[in-house]
Amino acid sequence: MMSPQVAAVLGWSATAVFVGSYFSRRAAVLRGVQMLGSLLWIVYGALIAAKPVIAANVLVFAAAAWTLLRENAALNAATASEASAPGR
């Protein structure tokens, strides 16, 4: 079993990563850092057996991943459209 100090360090690290994500200038970086933070929170929740922490952060991870994939798909579609435009 993990020591309470290790769990506390993990929880505070997850907090720092998640808060730090809001200083990202690019949306893709924001989503990626949010995903990392939510993974840390999921591990923390598992260590302390807190199902609400796990569930909430699975949802955060899924929302960030879905948004990141959607943004990348839109960017790729726009790039492909520009590349196939006449006169290029």
pLDDT for the residue numbered 77: 77
- Say how far apart CA 82 and CA 1 lie, in whole Å: 55
Q: Which class for 50: exposed (0-12), middle (13-18), buried (19 or more C-beta within 10 A)? A: middle
- Say how far apart CA 32 and CA 11 lie, in whole Å: 18
pLDDT for the residue numbered 12: 97
pLDDT for the residue numbered 14: 96
pLDDT for 27-79, tens place per residue? 899 999 999 999 999 999 999 999 999 999 999 999 999 999 998 888 787 77
pLDDT for 27-37, tens place per residue? 899 999 999 99
Q: What's the whole-model pTM score?
A: 0.81
Q: Is the pLDDT score of 88 beyond 60?
A: no
